[in-house]
């Protein structure tokens, strides 16, 4: 049994099937429960929807990765702490934990596997310092925690978190395949198909919400994938070989995060309280229906990926020009979005 494994195609199919089955079971068993979580926060929808889709995603992912039979000890350790952070999300969904408590455990569950596995963004090498990896661990922890919370923030509308993180997963699959990092490709495919199974129940109008258990789990996995990717393209003139281009794939959740932080800090509001000031809410305020908003996010994700992949794969001035276009459109998008009215 220890040597049992199936190929990536059957593993992906099992991930999709398990996710659909587990999400259906959770929906069936919990649809009549009255959820009163975070009643003091401003929410887009007042419907009583179970916030437990993340549990099904985590279970389907872990089972399917085990069936794949190629997860090394690093991923087993990361998966264990991924479960821990998903459980943190469950507690938050039901007991509305204080933000300081959540942040403490997020940092704990991120920094321990980073230190144990000795995996990190090699920031010290980029700036020419040798601090015995202490700065590397700090920057890597900061990056993953920021990513976890930005994806948690993007889970603010039916289907949105899956569209955004699913798009990120597809982009990671393509890049890791191009650079022959097959383990990361397989892991990303499994994650993608577990999210697709959940999307059946999260497409507007949603029957299940991802919940903090799901957004924290997905953000945690994507964060570690981004620092496990080995970037060694010596021909690229902008990105140092120690900084992964996968970081750029997280443009949308980070853009949303900084747009709402700018609004809340400017208006002296608590950054940790939910609201209808996200990018998706601002687009809804313009009159776009939910499904059109999802489509707009998908299109923007594709356009970003085209610029990023051109930047990574092209050489010389074409690479520089692609990166320049990426930065210009990013700054223009931030400047435009922060001026849009929030949804009342």
pLDDT for 183-227, tens place per residue? Answer: 899 999 999 999 999 999 999 999 999 999 999 999 999 999 999
In a domain, 58, yes or no: yes
What average pLDDT does the segment 287-310 reach?
Answer: 95
Sort 135 into a burial class: Cβ within 10 Å, 0-12 / 13-18 / 19+.
middle
**Measured between alpha carbons, how far is 2 from 16 in angstroms, rounded to an integer?**
23
Cα–Cα distance measured from residue 49 to residue 249, given in angstroms and rounded to the nearest whole number: 30
Phi, psi of 272 (to 5 degrees): -95, -5
Count of domains in the chain? 1
pLDDT band at 241 (very low <50, low <70, confident <90, very high): very low
Residue 153 lies in a domain: yes
Assess if residue 342 is contained within a domain: no
Rounded mean pLDDT, 254-265: 94
User: Under the phi-then-psi rule, with left for phi > 0, alpha for psi from -120 to 50, and beta for the rest, what region is 104?
Assistant: alpha
Structural domain contains residue 3? no
Structural domain that includes position 46? 8-337
Q: Is 1 a member of any domain?
A: no
pLDDT given at position 33: 80
pLDDT tops 50 at residue 40: no
Per-chain mean pLDDT for the chain: 88
Domain annotation covers residue 344? no
C-alpha to C-alpha distance for 103 and 208, rounded to whole angstroms: 25
Rounded to an integer, what distance in angstroms lies between the CA atom of residue 344 and that of residue 329? Answer: 28
- Whole-model pTM? 0.91
């Amino acid at each position: 049994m220890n040597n049992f494994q199936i190929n990536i195609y059957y593993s992906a199919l099992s991930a999709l099937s398990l996710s659909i089955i587990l999400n259906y079971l959770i929906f069936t068993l919990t649809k009549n429960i009255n959820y009163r979580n975070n009643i003091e926060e401003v929410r887009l929808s007042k419907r009583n929807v179970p916030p437990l889709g993340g549990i099904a995603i985590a279970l389907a992912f872990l089972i399917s990765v085990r069936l794949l039979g190629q997860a090394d000890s690093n991923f087993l350790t990361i998966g264990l702490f991924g479960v821990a952070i998903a459980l943190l999300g469950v507690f938050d969904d039901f007991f509305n934990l204080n933000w300081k408590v959540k942040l403490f455990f997020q940092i704990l569950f991120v920094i321990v596997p980073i230190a144990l596995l000795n995996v990190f963004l090699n920031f010290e090498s980029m700036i020419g310092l040798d601090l015995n990896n202490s700065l590397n661990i700090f920057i890597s922890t900061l990056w993953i925690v920021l990513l976890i919370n930005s994806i948690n923030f993007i889970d603010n509308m039916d289907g949105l978190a899956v569209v955004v993180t699913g798009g990120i997963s597809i982009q990671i699959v393509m890049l890791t395949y191009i650079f022959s990092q097959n383990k990361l490709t397989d892991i990303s495919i499994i994650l993608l198909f577990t999210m697709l199974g959940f999307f059946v129940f999260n497409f507007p109008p949603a029957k299940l919400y991802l919940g903090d258990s799901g957004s924290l789990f997905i953000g945690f996995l994507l964060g570690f994938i981004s620092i496990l990717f080995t970037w060694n393209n010596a021909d690229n003139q902008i990105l140092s070989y120690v900084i992964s281009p996968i970081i750029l794939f997280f443009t949308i959740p980070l853009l949303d995060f900084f747009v709402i932080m700018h609004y809340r800090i400017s208006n002296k509001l608590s950054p940790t309280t939910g609201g209808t000031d996200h990018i998706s809410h601002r687009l809804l305020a313009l009159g776009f229906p939910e499904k059109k908003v999802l489509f707009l996010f998908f299109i923007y994700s594709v356009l970003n990926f085209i610029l990023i992949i051109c930047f990574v794969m092209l050489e010389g001035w074409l690479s520089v020009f692609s990166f320049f276009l990426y930065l210009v459109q990013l700054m223009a998008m931030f400047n435009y979005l922060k001026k849009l009215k929030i949804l009342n």
